Amino acid sequence: MSELRRDPLDQRWIIVAPERARRPRGALGIAAAPIEPVDPCPFCPGHESLTPPEILALREAGGHSNGPGWRVRVFANQFPALTVEGAHDQHAEGPYDAMRGVGAHEVIVETPVHDHDLSDLDGPALRDVLLCYRDRLVDLYHDTRLKYVLLFRNRGAAAGATLDHSHSQLIATPVNPIRISRKLEAFREHFRRKERCLFCDLLQHERHDGSRIIREEGGFVTFAPYASRFPYEIMIAPKEHRWSYGELSRHEADGLARALKDALLRIRLGLGDPPYNFVLHAEPNLHAVPRRGGFWDTLRHDFHWQLILYPRLTPVAGFEWGSGFYINATPPEEAARHLRGVDVSDEAVAAWRAARKA
Amino acid sequence: MSELRRDPLDQRWIIVAPERARRPRGALGIAAAPIEPVDPCPFCPGHESLTPPEILALREAGGHSNGPGWRVRVFANQFPALTVEGAHDQHAEGPYDAMRGVGAHEVIVETPVHDHDLSDLDGPALRDVLLCYRDRLVDLYHDTRLKYVLLFRNRGAAAGATLDHSHSQLIATPVNPIRISRKLEAFREHFRRKERCLFCDLLQHERHDGSRIIREEGGFVTFAPYASRFPYEIMIAPKEHRWSYGELSRHEADGLARALKDALLRIRLGLGDPPYNFVLHAEPNLHAVPRRGGFWDTLRHDFHWQLILYPRLTPVAGFEWGSGFYINATPPEEAARHLRGVDVSDEAVAAWRAARKA
């Protein structure tokens, strides 16, 4: 018997239907098509002239901008969805609403090593990437035309990546994305009624219940959300109330690096190294909202940031596109049990890497 | 310069970013992976015992239920997302909301010929399929536990199909899917303010403007929606106000068959036979809402059904999953221009089929 579950963060119902996993080819339906190599790789050291000029880079003292020697490098996406010039220019087009594509679209190359995944980085290197996310968010939020910055990562062709070299992206938008607006509304409504953070309440329940917890690590909780849209969806969030990714400390970034690496390794070793996406649901831009009223006053109390990982295991089909309803054949409790059991010790990872090379 | 556009039917913003089409591999990123054949095909004539018993079938006089001789055949999905037994049983699970997976999940096999696509059917055969959709909708709407029936079609592995043999599906849900609720709200709000159907107003604008119109055929308008989420997204809707797919006449079904076949051929010949989904946004179940108040009184005036086609040309990536914002690299005006220009005359189709066989 399947079950409908409502996501308390965006009020969307999803269907948990374990029966669907018995279909021909079952739950794991996506072919992991390789990305066609682009030669030369524009993200490799020495090819900096093939990208737009860098916005931010971490490099040893003495290195030159837009030359090699960097550990992390950020620049504008060469094929941007949104660009920074001009005003919003909201206007009508007949019966429709339109505005100019004001925003930002940046690429964060996380490592100079072409064939490294994020989970191949060591703790300090991964921490630096996470601090770069923070620094770009803080910098972009000085621009009050930008309402939101979404940080995301596409790994593998089926997850939408067109380049193989390890990278994340961010898109800054002039309106709050609909998933963020719905989440902000849910958070605010809960706080209005209870004067507590909705997410803190949910985390307390999850940690008490335990069935969906995958790991607690470095001040972060990793778990399978109750109303996961996708099989093996994973959420990582600070155990304590934290409303702002922009205020992430170096120490917290160390903990998040450990938690993220742990989760990525569980996906790679436990699910056969599938394509995946992750997204950071950070706070919206407080500089872009009126100082009085609205969420400016309460966001510090009602919002709680999260990082969400989506392994791309099944194609999304007509029912989902047409309804906004998602069918998930893997109950989150089963996903959590499986991922909890994956051995991600150094020895297991080394053995997995050796087997993969052979 | 890209542009943000708001979908008036669900208030979602999308980004039209033609620049993105210049990426390596450009706009057409999905590999058309073949579906692994299942042998024997459970949807072929003579294999009726491999499926659940039929709910509805069109066959010549003298044929036997669950035997061959049918032209269209409907049965329960063997791996159902939802099933018809029992009551909703809405309940709390800790801080969460849940209900039992009450509903229906059916398969409509559209033709006995294994390797036919819907666009290979002749007019009367396609009309019969569309009337089967109607008859299943009307029948399921006698069950007041069911709030909505979504008819949809997945063609090709990348569109979520696991079987090759031409078929559609329907899922009946015990709550209105979120995309339908949002559409109903937009329709009702417009009617409240203007006492007119929102969709009729939009169609009038589209037909006057012309830039997004692909075809007018048999009482139906085929066009590229202003705020298309996906490249080459197509909408087909009755030219005159029609609130109920359940009231579709045989004559109207003839017209819809012509319009749908035309659109499917434009996609196949004009876009290289890509995987695709389509969904029918029919009316919700009026028997399942209170007689007084709510939308029971106004739905006949404010709702207008549509069929939406989504060619699967590009993978959906982290930004979309995380934000609910969609980036579309093909402006709908350009999509309409391209699809208008596709030659779908009998001669052109015959030549395309011959070239394909060779």
Residue A96 near chain B (CB below 8 Å): yes
- Roughly what angle, to the nearest 10 degrees, separates helices A250-271 and A346-357? 50
The complex's ipTM works out to 0.92
By Cβ distance, the residue of B6, B152, B157 closest to A319 is B152
Which of B323, B326, B327, B328 to mutate to probe the A interface, most A CBs <10 Å?
B323
Task: Name the nearest CA neighbour of A214 among A224, A204, A203.
Answer: A224
Contacts of A314 in chain B (CB under 8 A): 160
- Which pair of structure tokens corresponds to residue A318? 């007509």
By Cβ distance, the residue of B38, B79, B97 closest to A20 is B79
Closest-CA distance, A9 to chain B, in angstroms, reads 10
Contact B238, B305 (CB under 8 A): yes
* Chain A residues 124-163 with CB within 8 Å of chain B: 148, 150, 152-154, 157-163
Cβ of A36 within 8 Å of Cβ of B24? The answer is yes
Helix (H) or strand (E) holding A179: helix A178-194
Cβ of B323 within 8 Å of Cβ of A205? The answer is no
Give percent of chain A above pLDDT 70.
96
pTM assigned to the model? 0.94
Cβ of B201 within 8 Å of Cβ of A95? The answer is yes
DSSP-derived secondary structure for B288-336: GS-SSSTTTTTHHHH---EEEEEE--S---HHHHHHS-EEESS-HHHHH
A–B CB contacts, 8 A cutoff, strictly below:
260
Neighbouring CB atoms inside 10 A of B341's CB total 10
Strand stretches in B60-160, DSSP E: 70-76, 91-93, 96-100, 104-109, 148-155
Strands in A13-16's sheet, in edge-to-edge order, are A326-328, A13-16, A3-6, B96-100, B91-93
Cβ of B15 within 8 Å of Cβ of A81? The answer is yes
Q: How far is CA A102 from CA A56, B7, B318, in A?
A: 21, 18, 20
Cβ of B174 within 8 Å of Cβ of A4? The answer is yes
* Dihedral (CA of A182, A188, A190, A193) sign: negative
Residue B40 near chain A (CB below 8 Å): no
Cβ of A323 within 8 Å of Cβ of B33? The answer is no
Fold of B3-22+36-85+97-357: HIT family, subunit A (3.30.428)
Q: Tell me the mean pLDDT in the region A29-36.
A: 63
Give CA–CA dist A187/A193, Å, rounded: 10
pLDDT in tens, chain B (358 residues): 789 999 888 888 889 988 877 775 544 445 556 788 888 999 999 999 999 999 999 998 878 999 999 999 999 999 899 988 888 788 999 999 999 999 999 999 999 999 899 999 999 999 999 999 999 999 999 999 999 999 999 999 889 898 999 999 999 999 999 999 999 999 999 999 999 999 999 999 999 999 999 999 889 999 999 999 999 999 999 999 999 999 999 999 999 999 999 999 999 999 999 999 999 999 999 988 877 666 677 899 999 999 999 999 988 999 999 999 999 999 999 999 999 999 999 999 999 999 988 8
DSSP-derived secondary structure for A146-172: --EEEEEEEESGGGT-S--S-EEEEEE
Which amino acid is present at A25?
R
Cβ of B322 within 8 Å of Cβ of A277? The answer is yes
Give CA–CA dist B191/A78, Å, rounded: 44
Considering the domain A14-20+36-85+97-357 in this protein, what is its CATH number? 3.30.428.10
Q: How far is CA B198 from CA A105, A321, B8, B178, in A?
A: 34, 22, 9, 19
Give CA–CA dist B179/A349, Å, rounded: 43
Residue extents of the structural domains in chain A: 14-20+36-85+97-357
Which of A9, A11, A153, A321 to mutate to probe the B interface, most B CBs <10 Å?
A321
Cβ of B17 within 8 Å of Cβ of A318? The answer is no
Res B61: pLDDT: 80
In a 13 Å sphere around the CA of A273, the CA atoms on its Cβ side amount to 15
